[in-house]
C-alpha cells in the first residue's frame, strides 16, 4: 500500500495530487463540517482540513495523510457548498462583478511519528458582471452544488471570471500543491527525489 493517503472523496483533489507523481491511496472522511459560533475562517479551514485527515488515521497507522477543505469568503460571510440549484444561483448573483476570496485549509498528519502540520492558502477571483440568464445556464449545465463558491474551476466555471489573484491556482480547485510540497518535504517525502525519503 502507498505511504501517502488523501483523505478526500473529491475526484478533483485526486487529479491534482496525481500531478506530483507520488503513489497514493485515498479514503473518504466523514466529519461534521458545520461552522461553530465565533469561529474565524482560518480556524474553520484549519479544523476541517485536520479533521478530515484525522478521521481516517485508524485505517492508516504508518502513513502521511493529507486533509483539505475549502471556504468561500464574501462580505463577512463564510460560504460552504451550496447544496442546491437555488442557493448556487443566489450565490452567483451576489458574486456578479465582485471579488470573492477562497481559503483552502491543508493538513498533513504523520501517523507513524505522531506529528502533524496545518496551514492554508488563499486565492481571489474577480467575477464578470453576470446576467440572470448566464447564471441560470451555468448552474443548470454544471450543477456545482458540492463546490464552495457555487462553481467548478475545472470546468465551465472559467467563463464566469475576469481575473484571478493568488500564488497557486490549484488552491482554487481545492488542493494547494505548492504548500503541500513544502509539507511533504518537511515530513521526508520530497516529490522531486528519485526515491522518497523514509520509504
So which residues are the catalytic ones? 69
- Residues with Cβ within 8 Å of 43's Cβ and at least 6 positions away in sequence, in order, are none
Quick check: 177 and 169 in contact, CB under 8 A? Answer: no
Cα–Cα distance between 135 and 189 in angstroms, integer?
Answer: 43
Cα–Cα distance between 75 and 95 in angstroms, integer?
Answer: 10
Quick check: 13 and 174 in contact, CB under 8 A? Answer: yes
Cα–Cα distance between 191 and 173 in angstroms, integer?
Answer: 20
Instruction: Please give the helix or strand (H or E) that residue 15 lies within, else none.
Output: helix 11-18
Cα–Cα distance between 186 and 178 in angstroms, integer?
Answer: 13
Amino acid at each position: 500500500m502507498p505511504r501517502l493517503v488523501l483523505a478526500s472523496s473529491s475526484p478533483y483533489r485526486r487529479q491534482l495530487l496525481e500531478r506530483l507523481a507520488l503513489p497514493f491511496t485515498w479514503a473518504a472522511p466523514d466529519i461534521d463540517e458545520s461552522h461553530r459560533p465565533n469561529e474565524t475562517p482560518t480556524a474553520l479551514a484549519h479544523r476541517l482540513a485536520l479533521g478530515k485527515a484525522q478521521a481516517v488515521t485508524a485505517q492508516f497507522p504508518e502513513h502521511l495523510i493529507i486533509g483539505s477543505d475549502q471556504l468561500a469568503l464574501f462580505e463577512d460571510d463564510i460560504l460552504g457548498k451550496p447544496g442546491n440549484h437555488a442557493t448556487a444561483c443566489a450565490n452567483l448573483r451576489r458574486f456578479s462583478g465582485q471579488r470573492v476570496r477562497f481559503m483552502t485549509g491543508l493538513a498533513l498528519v504523520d501517523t507513524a511519528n505522531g506529528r502533524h502540520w496545518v496551514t492554508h492558502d488563499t486565492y481571489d477571483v474577480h467575477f464578470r458582471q453576470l446576467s440572470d440568464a448566464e447564471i441560470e445556464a451555468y448552474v443548470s449545465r454544471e450543477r456545482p452544488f458540492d463546490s464552495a463558491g457555487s462553481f467548478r474551476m475545472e470546468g465551465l466555471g472559467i467563463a464566469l471570471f475576469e481575473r484571478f489573484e493568488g500564488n497557486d491556482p490549484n488552491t482554487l480547485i481545492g488542493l494547494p500543491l505548492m504548500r503541500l510540497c513544502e509539507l511533504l518535504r518537511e515530513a521526508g517525502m520530497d516529490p522531486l527525489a528519485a526515491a522518497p525519503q523514509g520509504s
